[in-house]
Amino acid sequence: MSFFASVPALPDDPIFGLPALFAADPHPKKVNLGIGVYKDADGKTIVLNVVRKAEELLLKQNLDKDYLFIDGNQKYIQQSLELIFGKNCPGIESKEIYAAQTVGGTGSLRLGSEFLAQEPSRTIFISEFTWPNHKPIFLRAGLVVENYDYYDHKAHKLDFPKFCKSIQSINPGSVIMLQACCHNPTGIDPTFEQWKELSDLIKKQKIIPFFDFAYQGFSEDLEKDAKAVRYFYEQGHEMLVSYSFSKNFGLYGERVGLLAVVTHDAAVAKKVGSQVKQIIRGMYSNPPLQGARIVSTVLQSPELTKEWLEELKDMRTRVQDMRETLVANLMVGAKHHDFTFLNRQKGLFSFCGLSHEQVMHLKKEFGIYMPDNGRINVAGLNPYNMDYVVKSILSVFPSTLKT
């Protein structure tokens, strides 16, 4: 008899389960719009030129493969904090912000939630539409997960009044997960003026903000995409920030992330660091070398940094172009359905307003893959599959077709 015979089988991950299904599908025109990886106009996952150059420079240095500190590459940590909070942020120099290199953005979220669960809070609030992995991460860390209102599905926009009302009902000492930019899956972010109102409400309610910052540079640019986080810092919030270089450096498989805990008190930050390092030690001991070395090599070179910003702009522009093309083509074929709301969305993802049944039909009949909630990866679109995707989407809105 097996010791594990009674272990129940669980469904595949809603995002990472898609590639296997896609690979097994014999459909000749199949399109994968699921997992959030940037693709070029030929549908290929790219390695940035600046990453290749950094790897060549590192190879020539003949570096060792010794363990990093428990909390990681210190130069990388400093540079990451400057990207998030700005080079002139006083909390970086004064050590009032504790930060640790992590195993990707997911590792950062798990590390932050484990710290929260054992210290200041055991309840976290997430938007009712969010990245599917948020809830499992927080639950497995021991947090109680609740929802707050965020998105008006019928109007395809942020429901700001309900968002604010939800915050007013959150108990003091709770944590609220906020996405700094390019909200996943909706693509809809608060305006900067709305972020200011949210900051006031969250401070009044004595809630701890926890920012998920995975797409810096994919909305407008590095500086504008960081405005919300920097404003909350300036307003004196104690908070956490989970950061990822997966998207803006294309370092998906290198698992390059960061957790920052803002305390505004160096003595408190030191105590926080002692706790976080103990969690890391009991989880994975220390983070991997290569990804952080690549990021650090680029960011310490003005020439490589300039090239990185140009490549990041090219990626951002291509995504914007594909979204605008998708909307324009949908509107050509649609009669009574307005798809222009998609142009208000930012980042890799678009929430197209598709039902679960429509998503299943697109997968079964046309080989078009996306999560059950209808979120598409806009970077998965290109000139070769655009017409096919548009016609397929319009086919599940039969009353919208022009005759």
Rounded CA separation 378/376 (Å): 6
- Burial letters 123-160, b for 16+ CB under 10 A, else e: bbbbbebbbbbbbebbeebebebbebbbbbeeebebbb
Which of the following is catalytic: 39, 212, 346, 363? 212
Please say whether the beta carbons of 375 and 210 come within 8 A.
no
256-262 and 97-103 strand pairing: antiparallel
Which of the following is catalytic: 53, 247, 346, 363? 247
Q: Respond yes or no: is residue 131 known to be catalytic.
A: yes
Angle between helices 386-395 and 356-366 (to 10 degrees): 130
- Sequence-distant (≥ 6) Cβ neighbours of residue 131 within 8 angstroms: 184, 185, 212
- Burial letters 371-395, b for 16+ CB under 10 A, else e: bebbbbbbbbbbeebeeebbebbbb
Angle between helices 302-333 and 290-299 (to 10 degrees): 100
Please say whether the beta carbons of 329 and 386 come within 8 A.
yes
Rounded CA separation 100/286 (Å): 10
Q: Is 267 exposed, middle or buried (0-12, 13-18, 19+ CB in 10 A)?
A: exposed
97-103 and 375-377 strand pairing: unpaired
Which of the following is catalytic: 39, 53, 131, 195? 131
* Amino acid identity at 393: I
Q: Respond yes or no: is residue 212 known to be catalytic.
A: yes
For the chain, the residue count is 403
Please say whether the beta carbons of 263 and 269 come within 8 A.
yes
Q: Which residues are catalytic?
A: 131, 212, 247
